[in-house]
Amino acid sequence: MLPHLWKSVLLSGVLALALGVLVLVWPTKTIVVAAIFFGAYLLVTGLSQVFHAFTLPVSAGGRVLLFISGAAAVVLAVLCFRSLSNSILLLAIWIGIGFIFRGVATAVSAISDPDTPGRGWEIFIGVISLIAGLVVLGSPFESLATLTVVVGIWLIVIGVFEIVASFGVRKASQRL
């Protein structure tokens, strides 16, 4: 597994870098398109969860959670489609929370496993992600231009560091 992991990390880094450049080149169009796709994503996943709440062989508690999660996603999708500004706000909050979760998970994982290849880079990526999430949540709607720049820069930074980390993973896998 490790001999091929570096390729995934490299691809992830290249894609993040490319997306970051696109976001910085076309910030307004990027946010509008992302907000529309976000509303569609919420609708599709919400309807899917509601459907699966009645069709999957899961416990009653699982059904209830699937239904509530799905219904909430559908309601949020309707809010997105009613107003582009609602969609952009929800997208900003989603991005901020996503950065925080990724940052904490990445940093904690690397800190807890001293044998993680590229450990220092992974901890750094986690901390930067956490900071980016806090910045986004601090002013999700009031500073859309800042959000776009932060997201674009964040994607470029994460892309560069994932590319660098991928070579550390590759080197570690060659020693095994």
Give the model confidence (pLDDT) of 140-164 as tens digits: 876 677 778 888 999 999 999 999 9
160 contacts 4 by C-beta, under 8 angstroms: no
Question: Which pair of structure tokens corresponds to residue 11?
Answer: 């691809």
Structural domains counted in the chain: 1
Give the model confidence (pLDDT) of 107-122 as tens digits: 998 899 888 888 899 9
Domain range for residue 7? 2-175
Range 112-136 average pLDDT: 90
Please enumerate in sequence order all residues whose Cβ is within 8 A of that of 158, keeping only pairs 6 or more positions apart, or say none: 13, 16, 20, 125, 128, 129
More confident residue, 54 or 91: 54
Residue type, 95: I
Name the least confident of 3-12, 38-47, 102-111: 3-12
Torsion angles phi and psi, residue 83, rounded to 5: -155, 125
**Number of other residues whose CB lies within 10 A of the CB of residue 165:** 26
The pLDDT confidence band at residue 175, using thresholds 50, 70 and 90, is confident
pLDDT of residue 40 exceeding 80:
yes
87 contacts 36 by C-beta, under 8 angstroms: yes
- Does the predicted model carry a pTM greater than 0.85? no
Three-class SS of residue 2? helix
